[in-house]
Chain A
Amino acid sequence: MSSLPFLTKPAFAIAIEHLTRHVDTYSSHLSYEVKTSTFDKEDVYLEITRMVSSTPVENPTTAADEGDGFDVDIEDDEDDPESLLPSLSSMSPTHKVIYTITLSPIYSVPILHFTIAPLPPLPPTPVSLADVYELLVPAPRREELGRLGVQGGISQGEHPYTGRTVWFVHPCRTGEVLREFGEDLKVEGYLGVWIGVFGGVVGLTL
């Protein structure tokens, strides 16, 4: 039993299933894998890989800076899957980003973790917080995100299942924001909405 916007483990697993089905149908360019924690088979999570380019972009198109700052109309995103990101097709990738979407047992909402690895010929040096903003956060959203918390809305920590160092987007207001969707939020479409609201800020779109 889930009382949305909060999710239980079984509801989260269903939400992942619906998202992957949606992706298979509409966004087959997205490279994903459904994983389980090595410690507990019930802990299911989603891993999404994408390549990005650090080449500076003039006037990046972001739907996110319109209106109230949250563009969650995923139908629009389907028409133009790269609408929240600089167009990547013409640039060769410089970094590989691996996102994972796990369920937080404390917040009972998904958390977005990610790692960024430079691709050859770049040296394999770890990226800094400034690099994360530069590489993933659309320019119009940097200031808004940077104002949150002690050092902005992105922190470093350890992955709940792998223990590896990862970046993550603060989940403490996720429930509050998603509650605004009221009856429109269903388990089936949950992760699509969630990615629409919280993914674009670090370059994850459907």
Chain B
Amino acid sequence: MADAVRRAVWDGSIPFKVMLDPSECRIFDKADPYYFQADRVAYLPFYLPRIYKFFEDFLIDKAVATVENAWFEVDNAPLRWHWPIGLLYDFYTALDPTKTPTLPPTNHDRPGSPPLAADLEPGAAPVPWTITLRFASYPHDFLTTLTPTSTHDAFINSIKEADFSRNGTAKAVMSLSPSDTRELFASLQDHDYNRFWGVTDKLLNHSGITVKNIPIRIYNPETGQVIQGSVPTRQPGTIRGDAQTLGTALNSLVPIIFPSKRSVVLARPVMHGIVLPLSAPLLELMREAMYPDGFLHITLAMM
């Protein structure tokens, strides 16, 4: 089961409940919610067309409330189009998996019938995740404009950035054939594991290049701060070049929150809905559990 972790990351999903903003609805208090299961590694724009279609008949004015000016909100926060869904969830729920029960069985792709309710501890993340579909007052300051190419563009930019971080050049990405480059995004849209990893393995194992650094973004849900880093695979300053662990990396990037390299003190690092062990070797964590855009997107669950 060499690919067990990659598989589990790829298969991770989140049940969503979408409510239409009441001011957009022509029938008072009557729009049904839309339920769907979203892949953690995917992006919200992938699901927008089917969500829009579901609500189309409820809209007051379809000429104004178009798919082009649709956006989602949770607790007054607009949901960024170009963040992976798993990151959005972990960040906006400030998820602490130690407080969250196992997800109940869900109704995969069957809108209309809600998933079974889960008994949540106080402070646990909500399931399903309820978000609001809005059209008015598009928050341009916080959301990029959604165009037919914008999600693809942001994804490829991130892929290039990650490649540059790993290798010191973006040559591995640049040397992909045009069809492989297209395949990176197309396979993600189709949620096709084999096609996606078929190309991505070429990036991670590019001939003549050894991975030097690991691209990381750390998100603090309490402050909104995003810390980016390119962390060497081996700990600088160690005589034998000890392999970097998640703990040593967090300690070097955010020493105030991770004063210890071995145990969590102020926050737990969360990715893909689970708490990551500080002892995890960083290089392997990247190879097995990175997001498709090449980054380790880690949110902090403050203790």
* C-alpha spacing A149/B145, complex, angstroms: 18
Q: For residue A195, give the distance in angstroms from its CB to the closest CB of chain B.
A: 22
A150 located at the interface, meaning its Cβ lies under 8 Å from any Cβ of chain B in the complex: yes
Contacting residues, chain B, for A149 (C-beta < 8 A): 153, 156-157
Q: Mark B212-247, 1 if CB is under 8 A from A, else 0.
A: 000100000001111011100000000000000000
**Interchain CB contact under 8 A, A164 and B141:** yes
**Interchain CB contact under 8 A, B142 and A163:** yes
A34 located at the interface, meaning its Cβ lies under 8 Å from any Cβ of chain B in the complex: no
Surface stretch bound by A, among B21-29, B122-130, B164-172, B191-199 = B164-172
A107 located at the interface, meaning its Cβ lies under 8 Å from any Cβ of chain B in the complex: yes
* C-alpha spacing A149/B153, complex, angstroms: 7
**Interchain CB contact under 8 A, B229 and A126:** no
- Chain B positions 24-50 with a Cβ under 8 Å from a chain A Cβ: none
Known: A160-B228, A163-B226, A172-B164. A128 touches B215 (CB 8 A): no
**Interchain CB contact under 8 A, B164 and A107:** yes
Contacting residues, chain A, for B154 (C-beta < 8 A): 155-157
Known: A158-B80, A165-B143, A172-B161. A150 touches B215 (CB 8 A): no
* C-alpha spacing A39/B254, complex, angstroms: 12
Q: How large is the interface on A (under 10, 10 to 19, 20 to 34, 35 or more residues)?
A: 20 to 34
* C-alpha spacing A149/B156, complex, angstroms: 8
Q: Which among B141, B143, B150 is the interface contact of A151 at CB below 8 angstroms?
A: B150
B160 located at the interface, meaning its Cβ lies under 8 Å from any Cβ of chain A in the complex: yes
* C-alpha spacing A161/B143, complex, angstroms: 15
A57 located at the interface, meaning its Cβ lies under 8 Å from any Cβ of chain B in the complex: no
Q: For residue A204, give the distance in angstroms from its CB to the closest CB of chain B.
A: 20
Known: A39-B225, A106-B161, A172-B170. A151 touches B153 (CB 8 A): yes
**Interchain CB contact under 8 A, B153 and A160:** no
Q: Which among A126, A164, A170 is the interface contact of B145 at CB below 8 angstroms?
A: A126
Q: Mark B102-121, 1 if CB is under 8 A from A, else 0.
A: 00000000000000000000
Q: For residue B97, give the distance in angstroms from its CB to the closest CB of chain A.
A: 25
Question: 22 A-B contacts, Cβ less than 8 Å apart?
Answer: A39-B223, A104-B228, A105-B228, A106-B161, A106-B164, A106-B165, A106-B228, A106-B229, A106-B230, A129-B147, A150-B149, A150-B152, A151-B150, A151-B153, A155-B153, A155-B157, A156-B144, A157-B82, A157-B154, A160-B228, A163-B142, A176-B169
Binding site for B on A (CB under 8 A): 39, 104-108, 126, 128-129, 149-151, 155-158, 160, 163-165, 170, 172-173, 176
Binding site for A on B (CB under 8 A): 80, 82, 140-145, 147, 149-150, 152-154, 156-157, 160-161, 164-165, 169-170, 215, 223-226, 228-230
